[in-house]
Amino acid sequence: MERRRVAGRRGVGGGPRGAGGRQGRPGAAAGAPGRRAGRRRAAPGARGRCPVRATGVGGPFDGGLRADGRAFPLDRSRLRRVALLGPNAVDAFTQGGGSGRTYPERVVSPAEGLRAALGDGVELVVEQGCDARGLLPPLDGEALRGATVEWLDDEGAVVARQPLERPWTSASRREPGQTRARVTAEVELVGDGTHLLEAGVLGAHRTWVDGGLVHHEPRHATADDVLASVNNNPRGGRAEVEVAGRRTVEVRVDLAIPDLGGFGHWGVVVLRHQPPRPSLDQRIAAAAEAAAGSDVAVVVVGTNDEVESEGFDRTSLALPGAQDRLVRAVAATGTPTVVVVNAGAPVLLPWLDERDDADGTNGADGTTGTNAGTAVDAVVWAWFPGQECGAALADVLLGVTEPAGRLPWTLPASERDVPERPLTPVDGVLDYAEGVFVGHRAWDAAGVEPARPFGFGLGWTSWAFDKLTAPGRAAPGEPVTVTVAVRNTGERRGRCLAQAYLEPPAGGQPERPVRWLAAFEGTELDPGEADEITLTVSARAFAVWDVTAGDWATPPGRYGLVVGAHSHDAALRAVVEIG
């Protein structure tokens, strides 16, 4: 039976990321300087090579951000034990948050996908390691021993009642007189130790646990809260409950049903629960121990709908929780490590370029730095991989499909490097003063070196860009066709993506970016095979908008034409004179 590939493919836009991509083809991450050896052992499952300059075009997984050739792709016949680690390994972010989310009948988790692909002969050990969410997990429905929702009038009299069969509800105003709602739930807690109970509520409310008030929120919710997606992950009170064996507690929430304007009159109550568990230090240590006893470690990190969704801006580009600490702890074990980034937008990866030198030092001066021994072997960007998440991830790690996507944006090394632009309206007007300097164009204008440039991506092989053939002159308003000779210099079949960027004539007007994407095209080649890629640069790529004429115009002059693997790779260069 043919296995279905990733169903929830991320859409492709005007950038090079999805060019020529096929549904269900995952991708990799960004290249790192140097090769690791010495005290870090080679993976029994290692096969092939993954050099720094691998390229390609992919689908829902993006091209690699780092790859050193020591461990990947994996050979399942030589694997005995694989550690699958990280918060998104157990709770993958397969779709975007908010109204864009759908609810498929089946979702293949990372563990399910890897178990199916590895087979019975390979042990798969799963450890969460740390949390990526700030809120507690949803209450298990089996712990709900009985619950009701009551609607009350202004005097507190119950005017309607119905049983609640799940640990969450949306309490709507059914009649004009129903201004309040009360949720009462009997929750059975099992297991010695401290349990955490949480009631997330949209609207002004009070929460009691076994008769004790644990939270009071006086602010009434408004339509702005719905627009900001607060209703998807409402916050509220949290209580610690000590349990010896088994205990049933009563949770009660009194809610003032909010007036949400055009969205209606309704509130949300969500019950959450965290059973007793080891401390964060102990959980990270358990993940590192699992990695140390395995042939390879796969760490799935990322975001979730609490921090990345419609309706609100992120307050930080950092991975939430202790995920960076987890990655470093796992990599420090010496086990070959691949990190899978499960996020829909840029996040900071401070360990991306950390070295693990053969002599155990970290840095050019030979001293041991604080991050010595924490280098990872490969980084794969998984985006929102859809319902076939686990199957696609397994295909990438085992070399069934090449991780060959390309970054459609610039990956920052730090938040302070991100080009700033005005975001606050003045007198109700937001002036787009940045003009054409958006995206990678803004980064180039600022002269800041990012963690990975626009268009970057690695696969399971490497490429040489040998020769660029371009006309020396072209007429305004006509396209320019160029060819680039490429060779697969690696040991695996792969897809090469040639990206062409234009640079403006010197001293030309109006002000233009340092360079901009003009064309891209790809080809798939076997090891040692060569081919010519034809790229057509449209006339529109040379043009600017003439405000006075209300039309596109092409400034004359000598344009630089740069072809390479990404926006900062000037592998080949030519000059085309227009006019």
Tell me the per-residue pLDDT of 464-481, one tens digit each, with 9 for 90 and over.
999 999 999 999 999 999
Q: Which pairing describes strands 463-469 and 480-488: parallel, antiparallel, or unpaired?
A: antiparallel
CA 390 to CA 574: how far, in whole Å? Answer: 44
Q: What is the pLDDT of residue 348?
A: 97
Higher-scoring residue by pLDDT: 433, 116: 116
- Summary mean pLDDT of the chain: 85
3-class secondary structure, 306:
coil
Q: Looking at residues 499-507, what average pLDDT do you find?
A: 94
| Residue 504 to residue 557: CA distance in whole angstroms | 8
**pLDDT number for residue 62:** 58
Q: 461-578, what's its fold?
A: Immunoglobulin-like (2.60.40)
pLDDT bin (cut points 50, 70, 90) of residue 69 is: low
- Assess whether pLDDT exceeds 60 at residue 496: yes
Q: What is the value of pTM for the model shown?
A: 0.85
The least confident of 233-247, 348-362, 510-524, 545-559 is: 348-362
382, two tokens = 């998984």
Structure tokens at 428: 């109700």
Predicted local distance difference test score (pLDDT) of residue 63: 59
As a whole number, mean pLDDT of residues 403-426 equals 90
CA distance 242 to 246: 10
Report DSSP letters for 177-212, one per residue: T--EEEEEEEEEEESSEEEEEEEEEESSEEEEETTE
Does residue 349 carry a pLDDT above 80?
A: yes
Please state, in angstroms and rounded to a whole number, the distance separating the CA atoms of residues 350 and 157.
57
- What distance lies between CA 294 and its chain's CA centroid? 26
d(CA 358, CA 563): 35
Q: For residues 1 and 5, what is the distance between their CA atoms, to the nearest angstrom?
A: 12
What's the confidence (pLDDT) of residue 289? 98
Q: Could you tell me the residue ranges of all domains in the chain?
A: 141-274, 461-578
- Per the listing, tokens 């002599």 go with 359
Q: In this structure, which CATH number among 1.10.357.10, 2.60.40.10, 1.10.760.10, 2.60.120.260 belongs to the domain 141-274? A: 2.60.120.260
pLDDT tens digits for range 199-242: 999 999 999 999 999 999 999 999 999 999 999 999 999 999 99
222, with CB counted inside 10 A (0-12, 13-18, 19+), is middle
Identify the weakest region by mean pLDDT among 3-7, 369-373, 540-544, 574-578: 3-7
Tens-digit pLDDT profile for residues 255-264: 999 999 999 9
